[in-house]
Amino acid sequence: MRWKTVEYSGWGRVESATGEIARPERASTLAALASERPAPAIGQRRSYGDACLNDGGAAVDMTRLDRVLDFDAESGLLTVEAGATLGDLARIFAPKGWLPPVMPGTGFATVGGAIAMDVHGKNHHGAGSFGQHVTSLVLMTREGPKTVKPGSALFKATVGGLGQTGPVLSATIQMLKAKGDVMIVTEHRIRNWDHFLDRFARTDTTYSVGWIDATARGAALGRGILEEAETGGGLVKPAKRGKRVPFNAPAFTLSPPVVRAFNAAYWRRVPDSGRTVVKPIDDFFFPLDKILDWNKLYGKQGFHQFQCVVPLDQAPALKAMLDQIAASGLASPLAVLKRMGPGRAGYMSFPMEGYTLAVDFPNVAAAERLIRALEGDTVAAGGRIYLAKDALASGDAVRAMYPEHGKWLKEVTKADSDGAYQTSLVRRLKLRSAP
């Protein structure tokens, strides 16, 4: 297998890496790599920070291992290689009446990445995390393929486990029955934080997500738009393929006055009485995928995303965090609020029952200071941050947020005793070291 030295980055473009990358096309090639030169697996690199990087080391790009291996149209069981993207699976199977059970905010996430991060989506309050719908997976160990089933310690260390038990070759997933290949979306204009929580408590739709105006203050703190959605059938034009951002945007593009004006206009686009619209599936689940390279809108310095989840009874603490964000003047238009259920599949899985807030910030020193303060607030609230988005956290804080770290470490050490699968994030947080 030929290795090629390249420079690459996470989606936030704050962290980058230089190292050798191999791109196997067949399981036999991956088996040879795992035996001769084991290295962490990466996919489309949509993690924002350094979770998808191995600076100074090697990595295995899994994106050519993207074949559908088997599908049962009656039961919805799908067996697929780890490099397949969730967006492609949605486009292939939605017309057949099935969707990936859980989809994050980008269709470019791979099956392997969805397992490694145990991703959540707009239906987490009802469907749980991605890993809860994996009925089996195949790890490529140094001795060859190994089937891993739910309930085992190795499964719990792999799902949400940051790729530390080795490359996932394929997985069998229970797809979710869909009524059709469009989304029926009802949009509600939300006045403030308390109004948001009230609407989340009353929603009974399969999918729900809130856009939040992270610049609003005072009585309008927490205002936004709640989308509630169900799958449906009907004629609607497919989502248009994305246009590229051709260059790094200048700093004024996301300056505070521009962001405030955009957010106010975006909030008012929904009538006070609400409205219902029909959208292509891509438009609802992956709205930003229509703008390829949208990360360039933050300029060449890149951006950070802070995402945390706190328990339901700690909603006031999350409101206080949002107030800090609004007061800072650093937030971008990209801010999302969701209510989560208890579902999680792995020792290091992010979800917990509560509220999750995600906000993007330009990569400036003031934003780093704010994010570190928000990290401390999250620990104090008994919450946790999402490692798929992180580039700044401390190892001590992460261990405090993830109480099953010790169980994860025990299984990871068995699977990878010499640390060959460590990534830049794992080294930064010292996750492979005992407390």
More confident residue, 180 or 209: 209
What domains sit in the chain, N to C, each tagged with a CATH number? 68-178 (3.30.465.10), 182-398 (3.30.70.2520)
Average pLDDT, stretch 46-72? 98
Give the type of residue at 146: K
What phi and psi values does residue 240 have, to the nearest 5 degrees? -70, 145
pLDDT tens-digit series, residues 249-299: 776 677 889 999 999 999 999 999 999 999 999 999 999 998 889 999 899
For position 239, what pLDDT does the model report? 56
At residue 377, the pLDDT reads: 98
Q: Please state the pTM of the whole predicted model.
A: 0.95
Q: Does residue 131 register a pLDDT over 60?
A: yes
Q: What is the pLDDT of residues 195-253, one digit of tens each?
A: 999 999 999 999 999 999 999 999 999 999 999 999 998 765 665 656 766 667 776 67
What does the block give as tokens for 103?
């989809």
Q: What is the mean pLDDT of residues 65-73?
A: 98
Strand-pair partners of 110: 85
Q: How many CB atoms lie within 10 A of CB 435?
A: 10
Paired with 170 in beta bridges are: 81, 138
SS3 of 61, please? strand
pLDDT tens for each residue of 300-336: 999 999 999 999 999 999 999 999 999 999 999 999 9
Band of residue 142 on the pLDDT scale cut at 50, 70, 90: very high
Q: 158 by DSSP, 3-state: which? A: helix
The span from the CA of 330 to the CA of 334, in Å, is: 11
Q: Where would I find the H helices in 247-335? A: 256-268, 281-285, 315-328
